[in-house]
A = this chain, B = another copy of it.
Amino acid sequence: MTGDPEEATDVTVEATAETDIRARILDASAEAFMRAGYAGTTIDDLAREVGATKGLIYYHFRSKFDVFLAVYAEGMARVRARVEPWSRADGRGAERLAAMARAHLANLMEDLAYHHAIHQGVAGTVSAALRPRQRQDLQELSSLRADYEDMFRAVLQEGLDDGSVRPVDPRLATRTLLCSLNAVDTWFRPQADQPEADVEALAAALVDLVVGGLLPATAPPSPVRPG
């Protein structure tokens, strides 16, 4: 289970100038938010990163917070698109879970800035003083996030059912699994001279660690202790 479980139908999306500039703003914003955090980033920072001025940002987005929401949504859409096919692949629960974790990590390392933004959003650091509409938008995104987690939990549950996952609490295990994967964005920073193989090895090791910890173990609890 290493290739792609399904070919993406190559729909040629009409890349209008509008979608193009929006995309560039989102990329730049994600990058800026990662560097200085949401609160520590000014609209001027975003504009400078795009190579434009404030006015441009406000032409395309109503507020700084709306930019954040769009970054969040885009990041979630990307990771989901990459992971979801694996949840419907062949194989036992644990194997599919490992494949999903690999895909999640691959996307995380690729779209590191977007994940960092999502992380902040979930942490709630952002929600200082929000208008009702914005609060509701954030709520909707949170439910996207919850759906994403549900997808993992469902597969983990299948692993419990088919015996490929040792008996654990599915909610807690899923949460912990995702947190372990996501924590990578706090310490992983791509190095210019780092060979692709190293990054893949890191991802493989982490998947092995976290999913491997869920495999059934018959080892005795070993209360030997010569205390």
Contact = CB atoms under 8 A, between A and B. Distances in A.
Given A183-B179, A210-B176, A213-B214, A162 B128 contact: no
A3 to B, nearest CB: 12
A217 B214 contact: no
A138 B145 CA distance: 32
A205 B37 CA distance: 33
Contacts of A27: none
A161 B187 CA distance: 27
Interface in A155-184: 161-164, 168-169, 172-173, 175-176, 179-180, 183
Interface residues of A, number: 57
Contacts of A92: 222, 224-225
B216 A213 contact: no
A75 B93 CA distance: 40
Interface string A85-111: 000011110110000000000000000
A176 B183 contact: yes
Contacts of A206: 172, 176
Interface stretch (A46-54, A56-64, A118-126): A118-126
Contacts of A215: 217, 219, 221-222
Q: Output the residue of A1, A37, A206, A215 with the most chain B CB within 10 A.
A: A37
A165 B66 CA distance: 47
15 contacts: A1-B227, A40-B125, A91-B227, A120-B123, A125-B125, A163-B221, A164-B221, A172-B202, A172-B209, A176-B206, A180-B180, A180-B183, A183-B183, A215-B222, A217-B218
Given A169-B205, A215-B221, 20 more contacts: A1-B225, A1-B227, A37-B39, A37-B125, A37-B126, A39-B125, A40-B129, A95-B223, A119-B123, A123-B186, A162-B225, A163-B222, A163-B225, A175-B187, A176-B206, A176-B209, A179-B183, A213-B213, A215-B222, A216-B221
